[in-house]
């Protein structure tokens, strides 16, 4: 096991982590604002991947245009889910929202099966993204570079949006205390819709990346990245955006190193490892790395 | 022995059930019989999950994990010794040499599931609300991964097949009765009242001297026992068992039954279990004819969302129909 090999694994971990981070941001923002664990968030990743497939491969649109459309589609799906399922039950116990999101998730997956069939589809990016880049001992494809850079740009943009704009101030105020924010004249519905739209857009972009990275997509693909990004959000401290980003990278790195550095017999246990970590973190440090102390989880 | 109304109703129902089972076993074809068996198993699952989710308000998605443990345990125990020799070569010696009758196998499966619930519950039940739900989902996935990778005993993703077809209505019906009876006894005892108190307001309950933690663990362990038994019945009904059968989708189905029936209502869980398991079967030929799969799931998810929005307490709330509720003295 050389230094080059370990470096390569670290790069792989960062690539995976970028995708987890993008999805985890949506989880954490939605949780922060209405205390909802949105299980259906992972399925927006799947929708993003299918929209990419349709526009890029079937219609042959240019890559930048496809990315913009995927972002918009994800935002739209996020909005639609909020309007149809979560708004009517706002104020209900937290578990109700969670179970509803589970139902939405199963519905979206099965709608995917009805319209797209359960058959996995191949997914190829244009040639200029497939080129192999070598830097010293580390090699990766151009698409991996695009994934990492896009993720960084989007995350910076999001943090600026939340820190500097009126909308961002509204979101932070709503997360702090919904009722007081309403009394201060913040339009709560619009703020919550903006949160779902932003989260959905980022998740859909993660779907585009997921398809490009793994080369195959099917209607159930959102399940695993969705769950793992939730774990990432918990690691970072649910409700904190920088926390979610760190959590995403930590989980991506940990998962790749777990598989890459330990003997191969253990790699079959990687999902068990991820969820054991989740339970452990919930029990031992329920506020994660950067979460504020909120209501008790334990 | 005083003749009370609810005892009479129960007696009539049990006798009618036995009559029905006797007629069904003789006259109905295999397809209908297996459907009725599945309905029974779903009733056991929903009514037992109702003890955990409904009475005590612990939102557990881990029911299929306990089912899997009970199912695998029972399947390995009843497996004929001579087939074990070449089918399951990796079994430890003491397991390879035993062949246990069905009833003790089911009971051992249930007890093992309870033990697993105890081991899992002691740390995890410190979590509340949706965090508990997520943690139990984690437990479900961990159990699935462990079973898939524990190849010497479980044959991994292949699963065990060719199990003896021991399950019939004479097994399922009594277990349905036992599950409902135990659940009933719990609900209308001081113990069940404690559980309901924990669900409604845990701090108030604690102030009245309720040991929250012990009540929660007990609710999970009792539910897990029946899940384990149901797993054993299931395995010997389909005569095969694979790790994939015990998925989140199954957890979702059972949760839908409990929530739609009314969290806390035994009648509600049982009725919802019957309706949904028959409906799923009803959707199957439609899906096959149209070659569109997933319609049944979409329907269930829609019903679930509508119930959560318009009638969050479910069909029966936490109550039982007047005919069955014990009379006040």
Give the pLDDT confidence of A148-207 residue by residue, as tens digits. 888 899 889 988 988 888 888 888 888 888 888 889 888 888 899 999 999 999 999 999
Would the CA dihedral through A153, A158, A163, A166 be positive or negative? positive
The answer on pLDDT for A293 being more than 70 is: no
Residues of B with CB below 8 A from A103's CB? 252, 256, 300-302, 304-305, 308
Angle of the A94-116 helix axis to the B295-310 helix axis, nearest 10: 150
Residues of A with CB below 8 A from B156's CB? none
In a domain, A265, yes or no: no
CB contact B255 to A (< 8 Å): yes
- The Cα A54–Cα A56 span in angstroms is 6
Residues of A with CB below 8 A from B259's CB? 99
User: In a structure prediction context, what are the per-residue pLDDT tens digits for chain B, which is 329 residues long?
Assistant: 456 777 788 888 888 888 888 888 888 888 888 888 899 999 999 999 999 888 888 888 999 999 999 999 998 888 887 777 777 777 777 777 778 888 999 999 999 999 999 999 988 888 877 788 888 988 999 999 899 888 777 787 778 887 888 888 888 888 999 999 899 888 888 888 888 888 888 888 888 888 888 888 999 999 999 999 999 999 998 888 888 888 888 998 899 889 888 888 888 899 999 998 888 888 888 888 877 777 888 888 888 888 888 888 888 877 777 767 666 55
pLDDT score recorded for residue B245: 85
Determine contact, residues B233/B280, Cβ cutoff 8 Å. no
Closest CA–CA distance from residue B312 to any residue of chain A (Å): 8
In a domain, A229, yes or no: no
Would the CA dihedral through B167, B173, B177, B180 be positive or negative? positive
- The Cα A222–Cα A76 span in angstroms is 17
- The Cα A250–Cα A261 span in angstroms is 16
Closest CA to B237 of B74, B121, B82, B107: B74
Residues 221-250 of B with CB under 8 A from A: 248-249
Determine contact, residues A71/A8, Cβ cutoff 8 Å. no
Report field, pTM of the whole predicted structure over 0.80: yes
- The DSSP code for A222 is T
Residues of A with CB below 8 A from B200's CB? none
pLDDT score recorded for residue A78: 92
Tokens of B279: 């409906």
Contacts of A152 (CB under 8 A, 6+ apart): A18
In a domain, A161, yes or no: yes
- Is A278 in Cβ contact with B130 (below 8 Å)? no
Kindly indicate the confidence band of residue A34, based on its pLDDT and cuts at 50, 70 and 90.
confident
The answer on pLDDT for A31 being more than 80 is: yes
Determine contact, residues A46/A211, Cβ cutoff 8 Å. no
pLDDT score recorded for residue A265: 75
Instruction: Give the CA distances from residue A58 to residues A54, A55, A62, B31, B190, in Å, rounded to whole numbers and listed in that order.
Output: 5, 6, 12, 44, 65
- The Cα B21–Cα B17 span in angstroms is 6
As beta bridge partners, residue A140 has A133
- Is A230 in Cβ contact with B145 (below 8 Å)? no
pLDDT score recorded for residue B327: 60
- Is B305 in Cβ contact with A100 (below 8 Å)? yes
The Cβ-side half-sphere exposure at B92, using a 13 Å CA radius, reads 4
- The Cα B110–Cα B66 span in angstroms is 8
Q: Which of B146, B259, B301 sits opposite A107 (nearest CB)?
A: B301
The answer on pLDDT for A125 being more than 90 is: no
- Is B294 in Cβ contact with A113 (below 8 Å)? yes
- The Cα A225–Cα A74 span in angstroms is 15
pLDDT score recorded for residue A297: 46
Q: Is B33 left (phi over 0), alpha (psi -120 to 50) or beta?
A: alpha
Q: Which residues of B63-81 are buried (b: 16+ CB within 10 A; e: fewer)?
A: bbbbbbbbbbbbbbbbbee
In a domain, A49, yes or no: yes
pLDDT score recorded for residue A296: 46
pLDDT score recorded for residue A1: 60
Tokens of A152: 């960084």
Closest CA to B48 of B212, B255, B193: B255
Residues of B with CB below 8 A from A297's CB? 127-129, 131
Determine contact, residues A275/A230, Cβ cutoff 8 Å. no
For A223, which residue in chain B has the nearest alpha carbon? B248
Determine contact, residues A86/A100, Cβ cutoff 8 Å. yes
The answer on pLDDT for A292 being more than 80 is: no
Closest CA to B245 of B22, B106, B71: B71
In a domain, A82, yes or no: yes
How many Cβ pairs within 8 Å bridge chains A and B? 123
Closest CA to B240 of B172, B158, B168: B158
Name the CATH architecture for the domain at B31-310. Orthogonal Bundle (1.10)
Angle CA B108–B112–B114, to nearest 5 = 115
Residues 66-125 of B with CB under 8 A from A: 123-124
The answer on pLDDT for A122 being more than 80 is: yes
pLDDT score recorded for residue A298: 41
- Is B128 in Cβ contact with A276 (below 8 Å)? no
Instruction: Give the CA distances from residue B282 to residues B184, B260, B289, B299, in Å, rounded to whole numbers and listed in that order.
Output: 30, 19, 12, 12
3-class SS of residue B161: strand
Residues of B with CB below 8 A from A286's CB? 131
Provide the domain count of chain A: 1
- The Cα B177–Cα B40 span in angstroms is 10
- The Cα B91–Cα B79 span in angstroms is 12
Closest CA to B326 of B192, B178, B222, B174: B192
Angle of the B129-149 helix axis to the B63-78 helix axis, nearest 10: 30
Number of H helices, E strands in chain A: 12, 4
- The pLDDT of A101-127, averaged and rounded, is 85
pLDDT score recorded for residue B3: 60
Residues of A with CB below 8 A from B142's CB? 271-272, 275-276
Residues 264-293 of B with CB under 8 A from A: 292-293
Residues of B with CB below 8 A from A227's CB? 137, 141
- The Cα A162–Cα A149 span in angstroms is 20
Closest CA–CA distance from residue B184 to any residue of chain A (Å): 25
- The pLDDT of A55-82, averaged and rounded, is 89
pLDDT in tens, A237-269: 888 888 889 999 999 998 888 887 777 777 778
């Amino acid at each position: 096991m050389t230094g080059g090999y370990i470096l390569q694994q670290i790069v792989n971990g960062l690539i995976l982590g970028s995708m987890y981070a993008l999805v985890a941001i949506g989880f954490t923002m939605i949780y922060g604002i209405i205390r909802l664990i949105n299980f259906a968030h992972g399925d927006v990743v799947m929708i993003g991947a299918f929209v990419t497939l349709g526009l890029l491969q079937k219609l042959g649109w240019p890559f930048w245009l496809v990315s913009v459309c995927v972002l918009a589609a994800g935002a739209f799906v996020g909005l639609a889910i909020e309007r149809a399922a979560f708004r009517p039950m706002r104020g209900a116990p937290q578990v109700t929202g969670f179970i509803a999101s589970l139902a939405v998730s199963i519905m979206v997956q099965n709608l995917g099966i009805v319209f797209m069939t359960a058959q996995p589809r191949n997914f190829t990016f244009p040639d200029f993204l497939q080129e192999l880049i070598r830097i010293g001992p580390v090699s990766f494809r151009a698409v991996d570079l695009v994934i990492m850079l896009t993720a960084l740009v989007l995350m910076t943009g999001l943090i600026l949006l939340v820190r500097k704009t009126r909308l961002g101030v509204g979101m932070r105020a709503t997360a702090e205390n919904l009722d007081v924010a309403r009394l201060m004249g913040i339009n709560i519905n619009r703020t919550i819709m903006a949160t779902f739209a932003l989260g959905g857009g980022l998740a859909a972009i993660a779907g585009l990346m997921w398809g490009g990275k793994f080369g195959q997509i099917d209607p159930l693909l959102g399940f695993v990245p969705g769950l793992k990004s939730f774990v990432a959000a918990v690691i970072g401290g649910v409700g904190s955006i920088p926390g979610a980003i760190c959590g995403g990278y930590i989980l991506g790195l940990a998962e790749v190193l777990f598989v890459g550095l330990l003997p191969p017999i253990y790699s079959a246990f990687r999902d068990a490892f991820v969820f054991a970590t989740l339970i452990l973190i919930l029990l031992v440090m329920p506020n994660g790395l950067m979460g504020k102390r909120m209501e008790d989880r334990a | 022995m005083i003749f009370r109304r609810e005892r009479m109703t129960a007696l009539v129902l049990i006798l009618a059930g036995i009559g029905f089972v006797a007629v069904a076993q003789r006259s109905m074809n295999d397809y209908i019989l297996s459907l009725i068996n599945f309905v029974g198993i779903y009733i056991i699952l929903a009514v037992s999950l109702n003890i955990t989710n409904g009475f005590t308000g612990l939102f557990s998605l881990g029911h299929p994990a306990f089912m899997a443990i009970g199912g695998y345990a029972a399947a390995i125990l009843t497996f004929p010794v001579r087939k074990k020799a070449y089918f399951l070569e990796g079994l430890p010696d003491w397991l390879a040499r035993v062949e246990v009758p069905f009833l003790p196998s089911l009971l051992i499966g249930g007890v093992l599931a309870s033990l697993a619930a105890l081991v899992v519950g002691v740390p995890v039940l410190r979590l509340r609300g949706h965090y508990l739900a997520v943690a139990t989902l984690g437990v479900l996935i961990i159990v699935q991964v462990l079973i898939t990778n524990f190849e010497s005993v479980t044959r991994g993703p292949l699963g065990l097949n060719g199990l003896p077809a021991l399950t019939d209505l004479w097994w399922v019906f009594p277990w349905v009765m036992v599950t409902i009876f135990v659940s009933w006894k719990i609900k209308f005892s001081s113990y069940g009242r404690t559980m309901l108190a924990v669900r409604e307001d845990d701090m108030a309950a604690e102030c009245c001297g309720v040991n929250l933690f012990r009540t929660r663990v007990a609710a999970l362990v009792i539910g897990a026992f029946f899940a384990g038994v149901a797993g054993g019945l299931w395995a010997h009904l389909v005569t095969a068992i694979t790790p994939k059968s015990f998925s989140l989708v199954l957890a979702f189905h059972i949760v839908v039954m409990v929530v739609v029936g009314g969290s806390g209502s035994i009648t509600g869980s049982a009725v919802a279990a019957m309706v949904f398991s028959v409906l799923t079967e009803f959707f199957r030929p439609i899906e096959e004819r149209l070659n569109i799969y997933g319609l049944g799931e979409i329907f269930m998810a829609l019903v679930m969302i509508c119930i959560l929005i318009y009638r969050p307490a479910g069909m029966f709330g936490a109550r039982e129909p007047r005919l069955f509720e014990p009379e006040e003295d």
